[in-house]
Amino acid sequence: MKTRLSSGLTDWYRVGAPLCCLTGILMFKLLLPTFIQFGTVVTILGVAYAIWYGWRLSDVWLDGDMLRVKGLSAFQVPLSEVSLTNVQRRGQGPTIFFLGLDHPVGKVQTVRFIPAGDIEMELRTQIHAARTARALTAR
């Protein structure tokens, strides 16, 4: 059974946020045309940050004992080769989970995603159980 771990906000941060930045700066330029150079710099910085932030996020599903990831590339890894390395909660921004991969997939060593609800303890438990089972079978 496939369980979605990431929220539906990934597409917002990839597409919606950069478009909002562009729209806001366009409105700023229309209302205050004398600040065009300042607005251009702010536009470039704002859009670059929004794109950088959004495209590092992934959509993540748990399918049995496999973790399926869809970001810039799509792949799957056994849950036993994953560790929950960090959980960031910054102010009013979304919570971000960082999953470390024991063996990089291509250039991907860390998977970042916005969780769908309060799944931290359950995910930690499932990862711990999968890693423990792998360690026991390796003996």
Domain-located, residue 5: no
Mean confidence (pLDDT) of the chain: 85
- Kindly state the average pLDDT of the residues 2-19: 83
- Kindly state the average pLDDT of the residues 109-138: 89
Q: What are the b/e assignments for 97-124, b being 16+ CB within 10 Å?
A: bebebeeeeeeeeebbbbbeeebeeebe
41-82 pLDDT, tens digit per residue, is 777 787 788 788 888 899 999 998 899 999 888 999 999 999
**Alpha carbon 74 to chain centroid distance?**
13
**Which residues, 6+ apart, have CB-to-CB distance to 69 below 8 Å?**
58, 59, 60, 75, 76, 77, 108, 111
Question: What's the number of domains the chain is made of?
Answer: 1
Give me the percent of the chain exceeding a pLDDT of 90.
29
Domain-located, residue 85: yes
Listing DSSP states for 76-118 in one string gives: EEEGGGEEEEEEE--TTSPPEEEEEEEEEETTEEEEEE-BSSS
Domain-located, residue 132: yes
User: pTM for this structure?
Assistant: 0.78
Range of the structural domain that residue 87 is part of: 64-138
Domain-located, residue 41: no
